[in-house]
Amino acid sequence: MNTKETTSTQKLAIAGVLTAAAVAGSLISVPVAGSKCAPVQHMVNVFAAVMLGPWWGIGIAFCASLIRNLLGIGSLLAFPGSMVGALCCGLVFRLTRKLSLTCVAEALGTGILGGLAAYPVAKLLMGLAPAGFTVYMIPFFISTFTGSVLAFILLRVFEKSQVFLAARR
């Protein structure tokens, strides 16, 4: 196997582990306004941004949202929230390589953009009558803030213990 194939295989394995973590972690969720806020998904988004990049992050968010919905432990609101956040934090990390800005991008991407994108999903696909266009911003922001802080702390610990150095060898 050549280096490119090994790298793709490693990325796929990491994506699988992160997807599984997001699905298992969604058992820790708080129902708010028809959504199930899952902070572990947001932590996974930041991990994916740092380890794999924005496109892998979007794929992980999509797969985790799909699996959660198929298992009945998620809602359709998981799609816009997690995928928009994954894109935002992935692009910011790619451009800046700064973990703090990546976590802020996850929180703002999911909290604001994902919250806004959730409204039409709730209204058109779920048949809900949300109180207003911005109704999902606060619960999404609370969830993503918690997950982003958790990701920041864990990634700093991993960085100091050189876990990523060992994984990249």
Measured CA distances, 116 to 48, 61, 136, 138, 148 (Å): 23, 17, 7, 10, 19
Q: What is the pLDDT along the chain (169 residues), one digit of tens a residue?
A: 556 665 889 999 999 999 999 999 988 877 766 566 778 999 999 999 999 999 999 999 999 999 999 999 888 988 998 999 999 999 999 999 999 999 999 999 999 999 999 999 988 888 888 788 888 898 889 889 989 999 999 999 998 888 765 444 3
Among 169, 162, 148, smallest CA distance to 43 is for 148
Within the chain, residue ranges assigned H as helices are 3-25, 39-51, 54-71, 78-96, 99-108, 115-120, 137-160, 163-168
Q: What is the pTM of this model?
A: 0.89
